[in-house]
Amino acid sequence: MKPLRVGLAGLGTVGAAVAKIVAEQGTALASRCGRPLELTAVSARDKARDRGVSLTKAEWFSDPLKLATSAQIDVFIELMGGEGDPAKASVEAALARGVPVVTGNKALLAHHGVALAKAAEAKGVALNYEAAVAGGIPIVKALREGLGANRVERVYGILNGTCNYILTTMEASGRAFADVLGEAQRLGYAEADPTFDIGGMDTAHKLCLLAAVAFGNAPALDGIHVEGIERISPMDIMFAREFGFRIKLLGVASRADSGIEQRVHPAMVPLGTPLADVDGVFNAVVADGDLVGKSVYEGRGAGAGPTASAVMSDLLDIARGVRLPTFGAPAATIARPKLAAMGDHQGACYLRFTVIDRPGVIAVLSRCLADQAVSIESMLQRSRAPGEPVPVVMITHEAREAAMTKALAAIVAAGVVTEQPVMIRMERF
């Protein structure tokens, strides 16, 4: 059968791994998809760099846009990253020619996914992106295919390995956030500028794509409530353990009466549950379907091997002639969802206050919470040091997010805390 001619733009860690797989596993891949795969053209910024694989048989393009429009390719793989050009222009150009696209670019799809899906559908070609979410975990395929008959009520999980590594290491070592972040950077688990990861935006990009596939709507990145892990302390991790929880950065998307709820934030998850047991750089995703109930997917969320595995899965589907709607439903039918307000979210919370240990302080905390109908389930004051700052920890019953926010603002205004209160939502999936 005629080979599938592959054009690859982006030869970083993942791109080089994809090139190596195509070069070294050609026979096995051909037997799996029914036709040979040939890497016929590549594009990257540095032609001289050694990538651990011979690229002499592939035509070199210094401009990825020219690669995308080359008549020498049958499929375009975009691994450059970034929501704008050259990635956007290159993907648009390939789709305009009727060339199927495989991408690992979560930012591109989060911002321009609907327009690109419509362009792909107009030409009758695939736009695949398994590598954009949760690395080697085939969660897009699971939602789009395996759970296609289900009404998914909720999809949630640990979607950023950097944050999970930091929180896991903080718990194991008792070290502070800044110290562990520095270690993660030295080990290559965190970028030199880690803001995108630790601030929660990486998780938000992935969550909006999962929500789109799960609920059949357009990605709505601007409708996600986003918090990072910067304020999590070893003290919070210790108290969480004492209450029977671990702290994880979660992305949660669910159906609510008022619309689709999307949120990214640190959360306490009960010990012994699937998400609580996910350590290090691993990711995990849980989907709740009306027919199957709860299904759990866990694996490596980043790295050359896992991400290249996801790219190759998409590529093999194209070689087999498989084409599915980008977000699980025809592009013409998907629209921006009605979004639930974060203030309407209902849930229990862990609260930590740093107060001066003097008479009446606990009464002020309790009154401010009670004024907003927030009731206390349990409370800890670990040590007494009259006249010195001490932590007071409370677990609340379920309450509206808006009420919790007002109560915390009143506590700060009352002048009884020496630093901003810490609030961590508690999830009992």
- What is the per-residue pLDDT across 40-50, written as a single tens digit (0 to 9) for each? 999 999 888 88
3-state secondary structure of 311: helix
- Model confidence at 387: pLDDT above 90: no
Q: What is the mean pLDDT of residues 136-158?
A: 96
What pLDDT does residue 429 have? 78
pLDDT tier for residue 19 given thresholds of 50, 70 and 90? very high
- Model confidence at 385: pLDDT above 70: no
Q: 281 with 164: CB under 8 angstroms? A: yes
Question: Residue 113 to residues 46, 91, 128, 204, 251: CA-CA distances in angstroms?
Answer: 29, 11, 11, 14, 19
Length of the chain: 429
3-state secondary structure of 173: helix
- Model confidence at 198: pLDDT above 70: yes
The class (CATH top level) of 345-426 is alpha beta
Percent of the chain with pLDDT over 70: 99
What pLDDT does residue 381 have? 84
**Exposed e or buried b per residue across 134-156, where buried means at least 16 C-beta atoms within 10 angstroms of its C-beta:** bbbbbbbbbbbeebeebebebbb
Q: How far apart are CA 290 and CA 184, in angstroms?
A: 39
Kindly tell me the burial class for residue 294, based on how many C-beta atoms sit within 10 Å of its own C-beta (0-12, 13-18, 19 or more).
Answer: exposed
pLDDT in tens, 360-380: 899 999 999 999 999 999 998
Q: Quick one: the chain helix, strand, coil %, rounded to 5?
A: 40, 25, 35
Domain chopping of the chain, boundaries: 4-103, 148-300, 345-426
- Model confidence at 255: pLDDT above 90: yes
* CATH fold for domain 4-103: Rossmann fold (3.40.50)
What pLDDT does residue 383 have? 66
What are the structure tokens assigned to 10, written together? 């982006």
pLDDT in tens, 308-352: 999 999 999 999 999 999 999 999 899 999 999 999 999 999 999
Q: How far apart are CA 247 and CA 419, in angstroms?
A: 21
Identical fold for domains 4-103 and 345-426, yes or no, is no
Longest CA span, the chain: 83
What pLDDT does residue 386 have? 67
What pLDDT does residue 191 have? 86
What pLDDT does residue 36 have? 92
3-state secondary structure of 143: helix
- Model confidence at 388: pLDDT above 80: no
- Model confidence at 382: pLDDT above 80: no
pLDDT in tens, 27-39: 888 889 889 999 9
Q: What is the mean pLDDT of residues 163-172?
A: 96
| Residue among 287, 292, 255, 269 nearest 137 (CA) | 287
The values of phi and psi at residue 163, to 5°, are -65, -40
Q: How far apart are CA 190 and CA 162, in angstroms?
A: 6
- Model confidence at 265: pLDDT above 80: yes
Q: Which among 206, 248, 294, 406 is annotated as catalytic?
A: 206
Q: What is the DSSP letter of 250?
A: E
What pLDDT does residue 152 have? 97
| Mean of all residue pLDDT scores within the chain | 94
- Model confidence at 246: pLDDT above 90: yes
What pLDDT does residue 357 have? 80
pLDDT in tens, 202-220: 999 999 999 999 999 999 9
Sheet holding 4-9, edge to edge: 59-61, 37-43, 4-9, 75-78, 101-103, 127-128
Q: How far apart are CA 29 and CA 319, in angstroms?
A: 10
Q: 211 with 219: CB under 8 angstroms? A: yes
Q: Note if the bond before 86 is cis, omega within 30 degrees.
A: yes
Give the DSSP H/E element, type plus range, for residue 254: strand 245-256
The CATH H-level (homologous superfamily) assignment of domain 148-300 is: Dihydrodipicolinate Reductase; domain 2 (3.30.360.10)
Q: What is the mean pLDDT of residues 168-183?
A: 95
| Residue among 46, 85, 82, 47 nearest 65 (CA) | 85
pLDDT in tens, 69-124: 999 999 999 999 999 999 999 999 999 999 999 999 999 999 999 999 999 999 99
- Stated pTM of the model: 0.93
| Residue among 54, 55, 49 nearest 67 (CA) | 55
Clarify whether 141 is annotated catalytic: no
* Residue with more model confidence, 388 or 175: 175
